[in-house]
């Protein structure tokens, strides 16, 4: 390989080829450029000289030049990453050098911020994607946009031009304690109230993921003289991850004081035995723990009744392997650990087979049998 570019090649061709490699779009998470891609880019630049005998030599020199410009790195000469099918050898792939972005000018440290945004002055870094959003929040505080409450999506359009963007930002670094908050932006709560009923019973709560099992259980509970639960609630699927916090206010209510009058001891939960349902329950348990609420634990009797129902010949929807789901959701084994081991062993093969056990397997008979055993 020569140490200087060939004299019969216009140097501008090398520059154009190098720039094409710099701008080439790679797959996410990939830094390498294959020999096939290198040939394609080289052909685009040298298309006016097809079929020349020393074409491989020109490509080799163009790659050396790109490496000298700090755009790519060639593999080690003594390695196996070279194509020996012609002369000279060519790399099977090259690695594009990641060029670090120059440090941003900390423009936010020289701005005049509204008193409720002065924490921005202490930020050492700021994501460029947040610049316009913070300017909009500043404008809103100055002009009184947040004096009237609005829905989260309305506020999102107002501040970002996208009705879902603010919901994503709420989970990010700008909404840490002492910084931005949904209350500062006067966003109406997106959490549905927790549908519940307080009965004469012990300081225990039972929550159902779905509406119909909740209605069935409530009607059965009302017929019992000795009730195993003092509160029954409808979690509303994924909404329960937020509405579980309502148990703090429920305990402060006059109805709770009169009918139960003791601190709530436990929140039993029952939902579909599928990956989304189990994950939601596990995360609701963590949310309750973080808020100092009673533990959210599996309603073991209900889950056993659901699983036993799969073998009940009287069930017209009887499926010993569970009901099919549309797709196998991404899951985490740590979520499954929320369930007791005896249920994990029974449900794990069902989940692995891309099937589920619906909460609707519960019947009046199975509910009464469960509660009679408590």
* Confidence check: pLDDT of 222 > 90: yes
Q: How much is the average pLDDT of 161-176? A: 87
For the chain, how far is it from start to end, CA to CA, in angstroms?
Answer: 84
Res. 317 pLDDT band, cuts 50 70 90: very low
* Confidence check: pLDDT of 198 > 90: yes
Tokens representing residue 257 in the block: 């004081």
pTM over 0.75: no
CB 20 within 8 A of CB 8: no
Q: How much is the average pLDDT of 131-151? A: 94
Q: How much is the average pLDDT of 328-356? A: 83
Distance, in Å, from the CA atom of 334 to the CA atom of 282, rounded to the nearest integer, reads 9
pLDDT of residue 76: 85
With a CB cutoff of 8 Å and minimum separation 6, the contacts of 207 are 232, 233, 234, 235, 240, 244, 267, 268, 269, 270, 296
* Confidence check: pLDDT of 80 > 60: yes
Q: Which of 81-90, 168-177, 195-204 has the highest mean pLDDT?
A: 195-204
Q: How much is the average pLDDT of 193-208? A: 94
* Confidence check: pLDDT of 314 > 80: no
Res. 22 pLDDT band, cuts 50 70 90: confident
Q: How much is the average pLDDT of 16-45? A: 86
pLDDT of residue 316: 44
Q: How much is the average pLDDT of 330-356? A: 85
* Confidence check: pLDDT of 250 > 80: yes
pLDDT of residue 188: 80
Distance, in Å, from the CA atom of 220 to the CA atom of 372, rounded to the nearest integer, reads 12
pLDDT of residue 318: 47
- Alpha-carbon dihedral sign for residues 199, 201, 207, 212: negative
What percent of the chain lies above the pLDDT cut of 70?
A: 89
Output the DSSP codes for 145-195: GGGS-B-HHHHHHHHHSSTTHHHHHTTSGGGSTTS--TTTTTBPP-SPP-E
pLDDT of residue 26: 83
Res. 11 pLDDT band, cuts 50 70 90: confident
Mean pLDDT of the chain, nearest integer = 86
Q: Which residue, among 9, 93, 18, 117, has the nearest Cα to 55 in the 3D structure?
A: 9
* Confidence check: pLDDT of 39 > 50: yes
Res. 4 pLDDT band, cuts 50 70 90: very low
Distance, in Å, from the CA atom of 59 to the CA atom of 45, rounded to the nearest integer, reads 11
pLDDT of residue 313: 56
Which tens digit of pLDDT belongs to each residue from 251-307? 999 999 999 999 999 999 999 998 888 999 999 999 999 999 999 999 999 999 999
């Amino acid at each position: 390989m020569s140490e200087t570019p060939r004299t019969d090649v216009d140097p501008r061709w090398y520059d154009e080829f190098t720039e094409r490699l710099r701008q080439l779009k790679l797959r996410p998470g990939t830094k390498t450029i294959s020999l096939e891609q290198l040939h394609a880019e080289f052909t685009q630049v040298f298309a006016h000289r097809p079929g020349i005998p020393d074409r491989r030599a020109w490509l080799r020199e163009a790659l050396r030049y790109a490496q000298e410009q700090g755009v790519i790195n060639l593999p080690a000469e003594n390695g196996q990453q070279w194509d020996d099918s012609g002369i000279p050898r060519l790399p099977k792939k090259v690695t594009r050098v990641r060029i670090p972005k120059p440090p941003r000018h900390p423009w936010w440290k020289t701005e005049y911020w509204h008193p409720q945004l002065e924490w921005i002055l202490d930020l050492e870094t700021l994501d460029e994607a947040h610049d316009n959003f913070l300017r909009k929040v500043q404008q809103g505080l100055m002009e009184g946009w947040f004096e009237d409450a609005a829905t989260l999506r309305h506020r999102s359009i107002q501040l970002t031009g996208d009705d879902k963007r603010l919901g994503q930002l709420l989970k990010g670094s700008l909404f840490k304690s002492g910084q931005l908050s949904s209350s500062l932006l006067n966003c109406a709560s997106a959490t549905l109230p927790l549908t519940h009923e307080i009965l004469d019973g012990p300081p225990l709560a039972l929550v159902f993921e779905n509406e119909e099992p909740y209605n069935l259980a409530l009607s059965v509970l009302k017929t019992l003289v000795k009730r195993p639960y003092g509160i029954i609630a409808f979690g509303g699927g994924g909404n329960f991850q937020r509405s579980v916090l309502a148990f703090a206010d429920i305990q402060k209510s006059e109805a709770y004081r009169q009918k139960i009058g003791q601190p709530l001891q436990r929140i039993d939960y029952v939902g579909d035995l599928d990956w989304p349902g189990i994950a939601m329950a596990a995360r609701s348990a963590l949310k309750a723990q973080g808020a100092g609420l009673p533990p959210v634990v599996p309603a073991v009797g209900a889950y056993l009744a659901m699983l036993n129902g799969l073998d009940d010949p009287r069930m017209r929807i009887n499926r010993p392997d569970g009901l099919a789901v549309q797709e196998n959701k991404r899951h985490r084994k740590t979520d499954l650990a929320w369930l007791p081991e005896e249920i994990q062993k029974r449900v794990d093969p069902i989940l692995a087979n891309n099937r589920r056990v619906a909460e609707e397997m519960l019947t009046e008979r199975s509910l009464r049998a469960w509660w009679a055993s408590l």
